[in-house]
Amino acid sequence: MKQKLFGTSGIRMKAASLTDDFAYDLGRAVGTYSRDKAIVVGRDTRKSGPRLELGLISGILSTGKNVVLLGIVPTPVVGVAAMDHGTGVMITASHNPAEYNGFKFWGRQGAYDAEQEREIERIFYSKDFAQGKKGGITEESYIERYINLILSRVGPARRRVKIFLDCANGAGSVVTPMLLERMGCEVISVNTDTEGDFPHGLEPRAENLREICGMVKESGAEVGIVHDGDADRSAAIDHNGELIDWDSFLAVLAYGKDKVVTTVDASMRIEDVCRKVIRTPVGDVAVANAIVREHADFGGEPSGSYIFPEVHLFPDGPLTAAVVAKMVSEDRFYSVLAKIKVYPTERLKIPCDDGSKKKIMENLKGVLGSRKDVDYTDGIRISDEDGWILVRPSGTEPYMRITAEARDEVALKRIVELGRSWVSKAMS
C-alpha cells in the first residue's frame, strides 16, 4: 500500500525520510502538474532545507519549467509570490520539531486543496513525469513587495508601540522586525538567527514560551508576538507576561465582524463577538475556501492561524503581528480582550500511530451508537447545554486530539472523562 503523502497542511515527515530522490520526484510531479512557466520556491530555516531545495528545483527544472528562488522567507511570502507566478512550493514543517521538514503547495488562489494534492500524489507515484528542455533559475526577493502589501492594507501605527518579538530563529526573522519598524513601532527582537538552531519548541504554546513570557514582562513591552518556524502562525503575550489564550486571541481579531469562519475545534466564545459564525473542518484551506464561499470578513483557527481576506487568503504571522500592533496603537487591543468571556477548556493529545487513526474513528462511531447529537464535519463533535467535545485524528502528528469546552469546571471534567472513556474503548 502506497504511503499517503499529504496531511492537513501539505507534506510533513522526519527529514531523514525525505530523501534526495523523494524531493527530486516531487519537483518533477509539481513541474508536470503546473501549467505555469515558472514555479516559486521558498524555504524556512531548517538545516535540511537546502538539501531538499536542491532536489526539488532539480526535479522542477527537468520538466522544462523555470524556478523563481526566494531563499529563506515566511510561508505567506511564497503565497504572495504564487499569486503573481501561479505556482509555489514552500519547504517547511511549520511548527513541527527541528527533525521534521515538508512541502506545501500554492496556486494563485492560495494553498492547494485536497483535489490538487491528490493529483500531485498521483503523478508522484505514477512516475509519469513531463520532460523538457531544462529550465532556468532566477533569484527574486519578494520581501519588499510583501511588506508594502501589508502596509498598504494595515497602515502605520497610530502611535509608537513597544513590541517584543520572538521569531524563534525561524523564517519570520527576515520580515517581521522590519515590518513592525516600518509601521513606526519600537521593536525588541529576539531569536532572529537563520541558521536552523531553534531556541525552544516551535509550536507557540505556553510550555515552549515560559522564558519568553518572562522576557516580555521584564522588557516593559505593551505586547509580545511569537512566530512558529515558517511564520504562518502568531501567538500574543500580554504586557504582564501571560500568553493570551488561543481562542481569546482569535475572538479579539474577529471582534465585531459581521461574518467569521472558524473550525470545529474553536471555542464557543467566538459566537459571543460576531454576528454569524461558519464552522469548517480543521485546516487553513478549509477556512479559506469557506471565506470565499460565504463572503466572510475574517477567518482563523485556535492555533495561531489567521486569515484577513482584505489582504489575501492564507494564514500570515507577520500580517497578524501588524494587525495587533495597529490595534494596540489605537488602544483597542486590551479593551476588546477584556470583553471576551472565557469558558473552561481542555485540549489533550493521545499518542496514536497514523495507520490506526481511521480504524479508531470507525470504532468510535460504534462506541457512540445511534446518538443524534453527533456532528461529523471533521472528526466527531458532540454538544449539549453544558458544552461540547471534539475527537479527531491529528493531520500532522501521531496523535488523537480531544478538545472540550464547558460553561464551568465541573461540566468540563465530566465531558473530558467521557471523551477519554470513548477513545479508550475505541483504541482497545
Task: Calculate mean pLDDT across residues 317-334.
Answer: 98
What is the per-residue pLDDT for 221? 98
**Alpha-carbon Rg for the chain in angstroms:** 21
388 alpha-carbon distance from chain centroid: 24
> Residues of CATH 3.30.310.50 domain(s) within the chain?
345-427
Identify whether 383 is a catalytic site residue. no
The pLDDT-based confidence of 1 (bands split at 50, 70, 90) is low
pTM (two decimals): 0.91
Residue 168 confidence (pLDDT) above 90: yes
The pLDDT-based confidence of 338 (bands split at 50, 70, 90) is very high
> Residues of CATH 3.40.120.10 domain(s) within the chain?
11-141, 144-337
Provide the pairing of β-strand 276-280 with 259-263: parallel
| 11-141 fold | Alpha-D-Glucose-1,6-Bisphosphate; Chain A, domain 3 (3.40.120)
For the chain, the average pLDDT equals 95
**From 9, 94, 234, 305, active-site residue:** 94
Helical axes 317-329 vs 143-154, angle rounded to 10°: 30
pLDDT digits (tens, 9 = 90+) for 116-167: 999 999 999 999 999 989 999 999 999 999 999 999 999 999 999 999 999 9
The pLDDT-based confidence of 370 (bands split at 50, 70, 90) is confident
CATH architecture of 345-427: 2-Layer Sandwich (3.30)
Amino acid occupying residue 54: L
Express as a percent the part of the chain with pLDDT over 70.
Answer: 100
Q: Which residues pair with 163 in a beta bridge?
A: 187, 223
6 alpha-carbon distance from chain centroid: 15
Residue 5 confidence (pLDDT) above 90: yes
pLDDT digits (tens, 9 = 90+) for 42-59: 999 999 999 999 999 999
Cell numbers 512566530: residue: 227
Task: Calculate mean pLDDT across residues 253-259.
Answer: 97
What is the per-residue pLDDT for 428? 82
Question: Which residue in 75, 103, 126 sits closest to 18, CA to CA?
Answer: 103
- Does the structural domain 144-337 have CATH classification 3.40.50.150? no
CA distance 328 to 159: 9
